[in-house]
Amino acid sequence: MADIKAPRGVRDILPEESWKWSYVLKIAAEVAKNFGYSEVHLPVFEHTELFSRGIGETTDVVEKEMYTFEDRGGRSLTLRPEATASMVRCYLENKLNSHAQPVKLWCAGPMFRYERPQKGRYRQFWQLDFESLGTKNPMVDVEVIALSLELYRRLGLQNLEVVINSVGCPECRPAYKEKLKEYFKPRYEELCKTCQSRFERNPLRILDCKNPECKEITDGAPDIYTSLCDDCRCHFDKVQEGLSRIGAHYHIDKRLVRGLDYYTKTAYEVLSGALGAQNAVCGGGRYDNLAETIGGPFTPSVGFATGLERIVLVMEEQNCSFGPSPDLDVYAIGLDEASREELQKLVAELRQANISTDMDYMERGMKAQFKSADASGAVFACILGGNELANGVVNVKNLKTGEQVEVERTAVLNYIKSNL
């Protein structure tokens, strides 16, 4: 019988990597607190309609990438492919619009998309999601971008590039779509099959195509800026002014439209050269009409999502620090059964004092136990044999310096605490 392995596109996060995840999540929580964002925990599955209506029926996510299933009650449910729609649903369902606005929320957790696995991209992947709901003020767009940059600054990321664009609104975008169709029509047959399918449904998405031939065709495409209504143009100008005011370096990319239909006005990405072709570390923007598409009132909002795996990958590429490694403080070595029983008590005392401690449970010899102690990264080894047990002492060895001292059994805890 063949071994059962993890499905394609998912992976186990082992201890040598999981502590790096914990570090990123800790820094994210600190930055969120500094910016006034409160953490929420959202369901990993929702009614399919939330995503089909919220994200857009014609998006790749809804058409090709969602994990959708029918439960035993005949309801269509979907593992969340992203968090923004869930965050808006949470805001509406829990009547957070009755609170002081904007409501600033963040969450972290796994998302699910059936797409081709590649560097830093998996079918189950973790995202950090930050959303500011309930205001159309462009200063909040700037704050959201600033939050992402501050997160990356504290994590030590360098050589990042901020690109922004405006994707207009339902008032001005239809006219721009017609301009795009007029531009692309003479070269329709040269477009890839995916872009041909987008021609009628959502020609803006052609601008986002990574196919080299399509990218060459889009080089001369009309700029959306000339089609923006006064409100969108003013909003975009104020976002740029705000970014300049806080010293954020950016440039405008007319191809940036993002892959989800709910975006309005501001769209942005932070890019890194460490990720190859799929080089976005984060992406986000404004989605003023999303709440209405899922049955709620008009709720102007803006936010971004960033992939945890992709952050860790870039940090590793750039040799960023993940803080101190989670090594043990103490490894206890017992030379016989009676000594191990006494060490069990000592280990419990040290752990209760918040000192990370482990011991041998395999009844191995002293040499093998010392090998395990070294491998654990412990600072101290507490060594107990028959003689030490009879004399009420413990030999404490500093595994970093090699120094070894004999300590009264009752004084071991204080000795360890004062020398860590």
For the segment 382-408, the average pLDDT, to the nearest whole number, is 97
Q: Is residue 100 domain-resident?
A: yes
CA distance 339 to 389: 7
Q: Is the pLDDT of residue 150 over 80?
A: yes
Q: Are residues 97 and 168 in the same domain?
A: yes
Q: Average pLDDT of 115-132?
A: 90
Both tokens assigned to 166: 């405006």
Average pLDDT, the chain: 93
Mean pLDDT over 178-183 rounds to: 92
Give the containing element (helix H, strand E) for 34: helix 15-34
Structural domain contains residue 252: yes
Task: Give the integer Cα–Cα distance in Å for 118 and 138.
Answer: 35
pLDDT of residue 63: 78
The answer as to whether 186 is a domain residue is: no
Last residue of a domain, one of 317, 347, 374: 317
Q: What is the mean predicted confidence (pLDDT) over 22-44?
A: 98
Do 69 and 163 sit in the same domain of this protein? yes
Asked if residue 282 belongs to a domain, the reply is yes
Same-domain pairing of 165 and 306: yes
Token pair recorded at residue 154? 């504290």
Confidence check: pLDDT of 420 > 90: yes
Q: What is the pLDDT of residue 58?
A: 66
For residue 307, the tally of other CB atoms under 10 A from its CB is 23
175: left (phi over 0), alpha (psi -120 to 50) or beta: alpha
CATH code: domain of residue 387: 3.40.50.800
Q: Is residue 260 scored above 90 in pLDDT?
A: no
Is the pLDDT confidence value at 366 over 70?
yes
Mean of the pLDDT values across residues 325-354?
Answer: 96
Query: Which pLDDT band holds residue 417 (cuts at 50, 70, 90)?
Result: very high
Instruction: For residue 217, tell me if it sits in a domain.
Output: no
pLDDT of 276 reads 52
Q: Which of 168-177, 198-207, 288-297, 364-373 has the lowest mean pLDDT?
A: 198-207
> Does pLDDT of 118 surpass 90?
no
Q: Which residues are annotated as a binding site?
A: 82-84, 113, 127, 131, 258, 262-263
Task: Outline where 166-258 has alpha helix (H).
Answer: 173-184, 193-201, 212-218, 230-245
**Mean pLDDT calculated for residue range 402-415:** 97
Q: Are residues 24 and 157 located together in one domain of the fold?
A: yes
Annotated binding site for L-histidine: 82-84, 113, 127, 131, 258, 262-263
pLDDT over 90, % of the chain: 81
Question: Is the distance from CB of 63 to CB of 57 less than 8 angstroms?
Answer: yes
For the chain, the farthest-separated pair of C-alpha atoms sits apart, in whole angstroms, at: 94
Residues 59 and 160 in one domain: yes
Q: Positive or negative CA dihedral for 49, 304, 139, 180?
A: negative
Residue 219 has pLDDT above 60, yes or no: yes
Residues 267, 272, 223: CA angle, nearest 5 degrees: 35
Q: Is the pLDDT of residue 90 over 70?
A: yes
Q: Coil, strand or helix: which one is 227?
A: helix
Check whether residue 103 and residue 157 sit in a common domain: yes
Q: Are residues 143 and 275 in the same domain?
A: yes
Mark whether 146 and 264 lie in a shared domain: yes
pLDDT(277) > 60: no
218, part of any domain: no
Domain count for the chain, please give it.
2
The pLDDT value recorded for residue 274 is 57
Average pLDDT in the 58-82 region? 91
Residues β-bridged to residue 283: 269, 305
Q: Final residue of a domain: which of 295, 317, 339?
A: 317
The residue range of the domain holding 409 is 330-419
Give the H or E element holding residue 143: helix 138-155
Residue 7 has a pLDDT of: 94
Whether the per-residue pLDDT at 272 is higher than 70: the answer is yes
Least confident of 136-145, 150-159, 188-197: 188-197
Residues 118 and 88 in one domain: yes
- Cβ within 8 Å of residue 67, ≥6 positions away: 78, 79, 81, 112, 113, 114
